Structures are given as C-alpha cells and as structure tokens.
Amino acid sequence: VFDERVMPRFSILNPTYTYTLPHYQMVAGFFDIMSHLMEQYFSNTDNNTSDYLNEGLMRSLIHSSRIAVKNPEDYEARSNIMWTATWALNTLVGCGKRQDWMVHMIGQAIGAHTDATHGMTLSAISLPYYHHILPYATDKLRRFATTVWDIRPEGKNDRQVAEEGLAALESWMREIGVVLSIKELGVTEEMLEGITDSTIIFDSGYHKLNREEIIEILRKSL
C-alpha cells in the first residue's frame, strides 16, 4: 500500500550530491520526474487545483532541465529539479486525482525484461502511449499543449493543438537526450508478448488498455 507508512519522516536534499551523476542517469531522472507529473495530470475532467500546481512544476522542470543539460553543476537548476522531484511524488499533485500510471506499468515491464534504466523505459514508451490515448484525452492534451508548452490554439481544432503539444514534448525529449525507442533498450519484436503479459493494467486513466493495445503501443515504440 502506498501511504504514509512508506513516506520518509524527513529528508535532507542536497543538490550538490547530484553533480557527479552520469549524464545518461541524470536525463533519465529528469524524464522520470516529468512522467510522474504526467501520470497524475492525465486523469479526471474537473478543473482541479492540483492540475494548476502540476503545470507549474512541469514548466519549472522543462526550464531547469535545459540549463542542467548544458551545465550539470548549475546549483539553481539542480536545486529546482530536486525540489520538483519531491513535489512530483509526495502526493500533493495527486490530490483529487484518479491518476493513470500506465506508462509506468509498461515501462516497468520493459525494465523487468531488459534491466534498462527506469527513466529511459518511460521515455521510450510515452509518446506512443499518449498518441494512442489522444482520442480519449483530447481536452486534457489540448490544455497540456497550451499551458505547459505555450502552443497557440488560434485557427486549429482541439486535436491539432493536442498533437502540437506532443510534438513539443518530443522536441524537449530529444533536446535533453532521452531514449525514444525501446530497441535502444534491447527490446526485440519477439519480446513484445512477454512484456505485455508482464504489464499490470489499470483502469484509472482516460482509457483502459487491452492486451492488443499494449502490443500495438510497444510495436510503435520499437
């Protein structure tokens, strides 16, 4: 059970301890933070205060990650990222939310079959996943595009705006240098059914996936 019994009584966060992290692990961590935020953001249709807090955290992470990729020892950037990481999974932005977590479920199954870095399994699966659920989550993906990525909606329908938001997400992912294909993690076509069978399926997001859909998402991630 994920409740207060698994939460630390206190923690000491020192950004300078993150300076020596290898670049690959650093950017994997950046995307893991982003994924935690998106997993909580992409659920519910109400006008939830948690979403406004979440959008600010995503914008902060995007801004600071760009600085840290160029200068890993920028204290302000690394401290803001560390603070954002804390808020990304201390239950604050999950308040009042059903939450999704299917990217994590698929990513963890990939990790179980490959021993790949967790954040990279999430980055490799995220774009195919969000494109797949776009028909069910168009309104929220549109909001994500305009609020987090400053996409201008004039003269476009909601789906076009949502797709531009996902394109902006992809551009940032390429900029910081995360993995965009599960092939890079050692996944082959022959492994897809086993990974699918290892994936726990939740029904708390915008669309409950079936087995065939998970295989399709994995195939599009190759």
pLDDT of residue 3 exceeding 80, the answer is no
Q: Are 36 and 88 in contact (CB under 8 A)?
A: yes
Q: What is the mean pLDDT of the chain?
A: 96
Q: What is the pLDDT of residues 161-198, one digit of tens each?
A: 999 999 999 999 999 999 999 999 999 999 999 999 99
Question: Is the pLDDT at 4 greater than 80, yes or no?
Answer: no
Q: pLDDT tens, 87-111?
A: 999 999 999 999 999 999 999 999 9
pLDDT tens digits along 9-32: 888 899 999 999 999 999 999 999
pLDDT, tens only, 104-155: 999 999 999 999 999 999 999 999 999 999 999 999 999 999 999 999 999 9
Confidence of residue 5 (pLDDT cuts 50, 70, 90): confident
* Secondary structure of the chain as H, E, C letters: CCCHHHCCCCCCCCHHHHCCCCHHHHHHHHHHHHHHHHHHHCCCCCCCHHHHHHHHHHHHHHHHHHHHHHCCCCHHHHHHHHHHHHHHCCCCCCCCCCCCCHHHHHHHHHHHHHCCCHHHHHHHHHHHHHHHHHHHCHHHHHHHHHHHCCCCCCCCCHHHHHHHHHHHHHHHHHHHCCCCCHHHHCCCHHHHHHHHHCCCCCCCCCCCCCHHHHHHHHHHHC
pLDDT at position 9 is 83
Gyration radius of the chain's alpha carbons: 17
Answer yes or no: is pLDDT of 50 > 80: yes
Instruction: Inform me whether the pLDDT recorded for 1 exceeds 60.
Output: no
